[in-house]
């Protein structure tokens, strides 16, 4: 039996870097338009394969929270059309994140499949300091670029975060951190972190809010609210026989469906606290769900305050069941019937992946969800005016209350007055105000 020290040594030697020279061999191809994403897909696949050969330790050791695995790849000839010839891939604390995935009920092989079967999808959303987002092709996971400072903060909190997840049995509104990586291509390092998607892989969100419990400068700008105008145009039907015109109609219909999906993604602005209040929005959940939700929220914000973390948000997504049903009916009505013809698959479905991996167990009715996958979802109560599903989770927790934030607090207090509800306050104040505000939006 391998000892904990031998496991740590095999995973995370801090002095050695593996080099691999690849020759022609039968391997998975990681095709992505962005070479960086191809490297991520390759790295996650490699990491999960390596971890599968390492015995799970009885308990994590202190060194596991400092460990890493690192690999340098040269002459990557078998997939040079999609992959850089030279790159480095580094995974931070692999045994810790494997343990976290297990505690969140995520199988390593399924995790790998979600991130490597097909290229992650680009998201229009941008986070702080220009952070970019992608979702896995099956929409189960979010991949976010982060800064080296975020990596350092993650290391600072990881041991206590893990302990908290153990104590609450993974039942939390906090982000589910599942893996953290550094990718180096052409000498440029990019840091990425993978979390579970707050929103559903199948229930579309028609409105989303980012709530902090602050009212100063907390509304979406006019620019954010304006949907972009699509520049693309569908193919026009040309003169010809009936079959040619039908084929053009089919292509145009698929074009409109694809463009609608793209526009929907772009047209969904992130509204904020004042927008939520001015919209008269409420979260209509029953007493039992409200009690459980607030209990989780209370424990989570107390934990964040203890770590001196602040400036986090509650991300809220709203799925309108009747609206989604109507859109599905309209989509089916617009789809032309095809007799005896098939083009081999739907838009965006990778040829080597199961098309209904997540929905294969049992069909779900409109507004229904699998709570083991959509872990942040709560249904509206029976007496609500609209049948809705809410997705609610805490995001952006890696902001430490440091000297920079203290200075920002002082400056905003001078500008807006001591009593103004500015977002930059100390962690204890922030957590209390945040919790109190969220209690007022539940109905």
State the first-to-last Cα distance of the chain, in angstroms, to the nearest integer: 54
Q: How far apart are CA 380 and CA 318, in angstroms?
A: 10
Is 311 annotated in the active site? Answer: yes
CA 253 to chain CA centroid, Å, is 30
Query: How far is the C-alpha of 207 from the C-alpha of 213, rounded, in Å?
Result: 18
Q: Are 167 and 302 in contact (CB under 8 A)?
A: no
Torsion of CA 123, 126, 127, 133, to 10 degrees: 20
Q: Which one from 311, 320, 374, 396 is the annotated catalytic residue?
A: 311
Could you list the beta-strand ranges (E) of 152-213: 177-185, 188-196, 207-211
Chain position carrying tokens 């929220």: 297
Question: What 3-state class would DSSP assign to 196?
Answer: strand
Alpha helices in 232-279 (DSSP H): 242-266, 273-278
CB contact at 8 A, 55 and 47:
no
- The candidate with the shortest Cα–Cα distance to 440, out of 421, 412, 426, 424, is 421
Which residue is associated with the tokens 């004042």?
A: 274
DSSP state of 237: P
DSSP of 19-58: EEE--S--------SSHHHHHHHHHHHHHHHHHTTSPPPS
Q: Cβ(109)–Cβ(26) under 8 Å?
A: no
Q: Is the dihedral of CA 238, 243, 247, 253 positive or negative?
A: positive
Residue 18 β-bridge partners:
71
Q: Which of 88, 144, 207, 272 is catalytic?
A: 144
- What are residue 392's phi and psi, to 5 degrees? -135, 125
* Rounded alpha-carbon distances, angstroms, from residue 392 to 210, 294, 316: 10, 11, 5
144 in active site: yes
Residues pairing with 141 in the sheet: 196
DSSP summary character for residue 240: S
If phi > 0 it is left, if psi is from -120 to 50 it is alpha, else beta; for residue 308 that is left
Beta pairing partners, 196 = 141
Name the CA radius of gyration of the chain, rounded: 24
User: Please, are residues 358 and 140 in contact by the beta-carbon 8 Å criterion?
Assistant: yes
Kindly list the catalytic residues: 144, 311
């Amino acid at each position: 039996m391998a000892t904990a020290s031998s496991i740590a040594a095999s995973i995370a030697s801090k002095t050695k870097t593996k080099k691999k020279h690849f020759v022609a061999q039968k391997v998975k191809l990681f095709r992505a338009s962005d070479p960086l994403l191809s490297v991520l897909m390759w790295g996650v696949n490699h990491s999960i394969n390596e971890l599968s050969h390492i015995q799970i330790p009885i308990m994590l050791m202190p060194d596991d929270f400092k460990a890493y695995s690192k690999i340098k790849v040269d002459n990557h000839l078998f997939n040079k059309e999609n992959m850089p010839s030279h790159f480095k891939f580094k995974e931070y604390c692999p045994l810790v994140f494997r343990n976290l995935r297990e505690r969140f009920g995520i199988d390593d092989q399924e995790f790998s499949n979600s991130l490597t079967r097909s290229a992650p999808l680009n998201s229009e959303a941008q986070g702080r300091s220009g952070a970019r987002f992608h979702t896995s092709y099956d929409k189960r996971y979010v991949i976010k670029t982060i800064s080296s400072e975020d990596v350092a903060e993650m290391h600072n909190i990881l041991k206590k975060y893990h302990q908290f997840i153990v104590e609450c049995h993974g039942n939390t509104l906090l982000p589910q951190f599942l893996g953290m990586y550094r990718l180096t291509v052409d000498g440029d390092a990019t840091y990425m972190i993978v979390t579970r998607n707050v929103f559903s892989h199948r229930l579309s969100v028609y409105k989303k809010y980012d709530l902090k419990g602050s009212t100063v400068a907390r509304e979406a700008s006019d620019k954010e609210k304006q949907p972009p105008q699509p520049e693309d145009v569908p193919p026009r039907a040309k003169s010809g026989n009936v079959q040619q015109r039908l084929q053009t109609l089919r292509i145009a219909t698929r074009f409109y469906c694809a463009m609608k999906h793209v526009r929907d993604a772009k047209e969904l602005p992130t509204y904020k606290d004042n927008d939520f209040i001015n919209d008269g929005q409420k979260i209509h959940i029953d007493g039992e769900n409200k009690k459980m939700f607030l209990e989780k929220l209370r424990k989570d914000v107390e934990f964040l305050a203890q770590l001196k973390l602040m400036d986090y948000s509650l991300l809220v997504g709203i799925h309108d069941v009747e609206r989604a049903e109507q859109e599905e009916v309209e989509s089916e009505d617009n789809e032309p019937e095809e007799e005896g013809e098939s083009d081999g698959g739907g838009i965006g479905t990778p040829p080597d992946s199961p098309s209904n991996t997540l929905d294969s167990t049992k069909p779900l009715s409109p507004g229904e969800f699998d709570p083991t996958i959509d872990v942040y979802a709560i249904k509206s109560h029976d007496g609500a005016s609209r049948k809705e599903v809410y997705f609610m989770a805490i995001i952006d927790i890696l902001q430490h209350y440091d000297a920079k934030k203290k200075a920002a607090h002082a400056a905003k207090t001078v500008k807006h007055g001591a009593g103004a509800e500015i977002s930059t306050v100390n962690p204890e104040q922030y957590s209390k105000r945040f919790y109190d505000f969220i209690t007022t939006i539940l109905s």
